[in-house]
A and B are shown apart, each in its own frame.
Chain A
């Protein structure tokens, strides 16, 4: 890890802590990615104010490259951001609705609406740089 990443990580930890103190109910948020399906999608995105949904499939190689990052981030951001995983092989309605035409695609959902997306396997810092502004807002 280089110096810049280290500074960013510390700042992020502080921010995450502050948000947690403001919103105590967030203590009960899941600490691991939850499974999203066509059936539970609407209910889950209403339940959590800020979500990252990883659209993936078992045979997709780049999806396997970011899977460990999603796991890690779900733990590190527990209480602030809820991470979900949607298998596009088994659930086709939701990707179609969002116009997802490639995997991996990360959908950033705030208060039930898509605010941003990231296509392709990218490093953790890139996901964090996108997420940062939705945490601040």
Chain B
């Protein structure tokens, strides 16, 4: 699939960017799941023009319809991998799709990465990990657990199965693409659904986890909530988030990498709807202008 602008994230920032870009007659594809937006669970009272509390998911649905009306295409899947090929960007989705794009807008928001259970902090770096790609090598031949419900957990389990002797994928309810579900059918991956982790225990390092009262012995616990985050997607194309995980942009919402824009919570505080749509507006306009400029230059130089 080919497009002019690819937007990763369908929260208010991404959808607003899609609306502005699509109205400028460039092709727009937007990835992500509305229900995973921070706004989906919010009751908003401090946004211009809205006085009574309004349910966030309703705003998102209306926004999606608006963007579609102007021609933006929605793919309700997570991005798993982003890379650069010549002067284009290629994204791989959890459904196995590949989208090639001239410009990318990051609008992934911020999401909870910590579980908040006993032992999690104590054992970080001693068996508890938030990055399967980084730490898989330390768990060769060992038993590990992966915690999470979405595409990040599923793809991490698939990676870890190549190193660990056994991978338990523990989720309340796994919600990911069929493509990933198929890849999870590996001999040493066991899916445990519907159980809640209440504690990570051990002495000097992780010894196991408590699941609804019963114990499961593992040496590694990989916490992979939600979708692949900004770090995993950004660093591959040469974009370095600050240590808080935020992406720095200039007043045109441009990042330090040519062709990549960012908007919304991902750019840092205030983590508010009004700021997200404001930045989305600028990112959408600037990305569209950028794509038109390079298309014109390409034509001139043949």
Determine if chain A interacts with chain B. Answer: yes
Which residues from 221 to 245 on chain B have a C-beta closer than 8 Å to any C-beta of chain A?
A: 231-232, 235-236, 240-244
Name the one of A66, A68, A119 contacting B126, with C-beta atoms under 8 angstroms: A119
Given known A-B contacts A61-B232, A119-B124, A119-B125, A102 and B134 have beta carbons under 8 A apart = yes
Closest residue of chain B to A118 (Cβ to Cβ) is B125
A101 x B125 contact (CB < 8 A):
yes
Write out, one digit per residue, whether chain A residues 71-93 have a CB within 8 A of any chain B CB (1) or not (0). 00000000000000000110000
Inter-subunit contact B243/A60 (CB<8 Å): no
Size band of the B side of the interface? Answer: 20 to 34
Contact yes or no, A120 B124, CB < 8 A:
yes
Closest residue of chain B to A127 (Cβ to Cβ) is B243
B240 contacts A65, C-beta separation under 8 Å? yes
**With contact pairs A100-B125, A105-B125 given, residues A57 and B134 touching in the complex (Cβ less than 8 Å):** yes
Is there contact, CB below 8 Å, between A101 and B235? no
Residues of A close to B135: CB separation below 8 A = 101-103
Please report which residues of chain A, range 78-137, place their CB below 8 angstroms from some CB of chain B when the two chains form the complex.
88-89, 95, 99-103, 105, 117, 119-124
List chain A residues, Cβ under 8 A from B232: 61
Q: Is B220 an interface residue (CB 8 A)?
A: yes
| Interchain CB contact under 8 A, B235 and A61 | yes
Shortest Cβ distance from B129 into chain A, in angstroms? 5
Answer whether residue B138 sits at the interface, using C-beta atoms and an 8 A cutoff.
Answer: yes
Q: Are A123 and B134 in contact (CB under 8 A)?
A: no
Report B232 CB to chain A, min CB distance, Å.
6
Closest to A60 in B: B134
CB-based contact B124/A102 at 8 Å: yes
Enumerate chain B residues within 8 angstroms of A120, measured Cβ to Cβ: 124-125, 130
Minimal Cβ-Cβ distance residue in B for A103: B134
B240: chain A residues at CB < 8 Å are 64-65, 68
B243 in complex: contacting residue of A59, A102, A119, A123, CB < 8 Å: A123
Kindly identify which residue among B128, B204, B231, B244 contacts A102, using a CB–CB cutoff of 8 Å. Answer: B128
In contact, B231 and A62 (Cβ under 8 angstroms) = yes
With A99-B204, A99-B205, A101-B205 already in contact, the answer to whether A61 and B134 are too (CB < 8 A) is yes
Q: In the complex, what's the smallest C-beta–C-beta distance from B28 to chain A, in angstroms?
A: 28
A-B contact pairs, 19 of them (CB 8 A): A57-B134, A59-B133, A61-B231, A62-B131, A65-B242, A99-B126, A99-B204, A101-B127, A101-B129, A101-B138, A101-B139, A102-B128, A102-B138, A103-B134, A103-B135, A117-B125, A119-B125, A120-B130, A122-B243
Residues of B within 8 A of A (CB): 124-131, 133-135, 137-139, 204-205, 220, 231-232, 235-236, 240-244
Given A60-B131, A99-B204, A101-B139, 9 new contacts (CB under 8 A): A57-B137, A61-B133, A64-B235, A101-B220, A102-B129, A102-B134, A119-B126, A120-B124, A120-B130
